[in-house]
Structure 1
Amino acid sequence: MTKDDLHAWALAHGWQEAGGFLSLMKPRTFDTAIVRLVLKATVAALEIKKPNGKWEKVSGAAYSAINAGEEGDVPSGLGLDTINGLSSLMQQNKDHLVFAKMR
Structure 2
Amino acid sequence: MELAQQKAETAQILREIAAMQDLPARAVIAFQFVAEDPAADWDALTAAAEAQGYQVAWFEGGDDDGDACLEITTPEIAFGFETLWAEEEKLTLLGAIHGFAADGWGFMGA
TM-score (norm 1): 0.29
Max radius of gyration: which structure? 2
Q: Report 1 or 2 for greater relative contact order, CA contacts < 8 Å, sequence distance ≥ 6.
A: 2
Kindly indicate which of the two structures has a greater share of residues assigned to helix.
2
